[in-house]
Amino acid sequence: MRILVINGPNLNMLGIREKGIYGSETYDDLIRFISDICDELKIEAEFFQSNHEGSIVDAIQSAYGRFDGIVINPAAYTHTSIAILDALKAVSLPAVEVHLSDIYKREEFRHISYVASACIKSFYGLGFEGYRLAVLALKEHLGK
């Protein structure tokens, strides 16, 4: 089982940005956290982070035929990007949405997730733990 973990804009700033919301652990800490889980579960994981919408679309398209599933935190593009939604639908790989914070308890503009309708599950407000649950949800879904 091979999964692609995609993180969107400003998630490379974890540990620096709005620590009260996102915590003090860094993006590298997050990658280590997910890698350890995947190693334990014998899942091959690749990681991609970009601050650019089109690059995220490209990464999703390039996952077609190469990965069994996608874990995605599109960050701010969650609330704006029909292009990312369409890319997820185009490749039709099982995808799980993750947000570190609870987007439904924050500003109203964060209450809309365009990508949610292309995802088999969404986890939000659980910090790094959401990524663990996302990997497990993909594993269960794929029956691997």
Give me the active site residues, please: 22, 99
Q: For ligand DQA, which is the closer residue by CB, 44 or 117?
A: 117
Q: For ligand DQA, which is the closer residue by CB, 39 or 129?
A: 129
Minimum separation from the CB atom of position 69 to ligand DQA (A): 19
d(CA 100, CA 15): 12
Minimum separation from the CB atom of position 110 to ligand DQA (A): 4
* Residues between 64 and 103 that touch ligand DQA (CB under 6 A): 73, 75-76, 78, 99-101, 103
**Alpha helices per DSSP H over the chain:** 19-22, 27-40, 53-63, 82-91, 129-142
Would you give the binding string for ligand DQA spanning residues 10-29, x where CB under 6 A is met? x-------------------
44-47 long-range contacts, CB within 8 A, separation 24+: 44/1, 44/2, 44/3, 45/2, 45/3, 45/4, 45/5, 45/135, 46/2, 46/3, 46/4, 46/5, 47/4, 47/5, 47/7
Q: For ligand DQA, which is the closer residue by CB, 50 or 78?
A: 78
Interface positions with ligand DQA (CB under 6 A) = 10, 73, 75-76, 78, 99-101, 103, 110
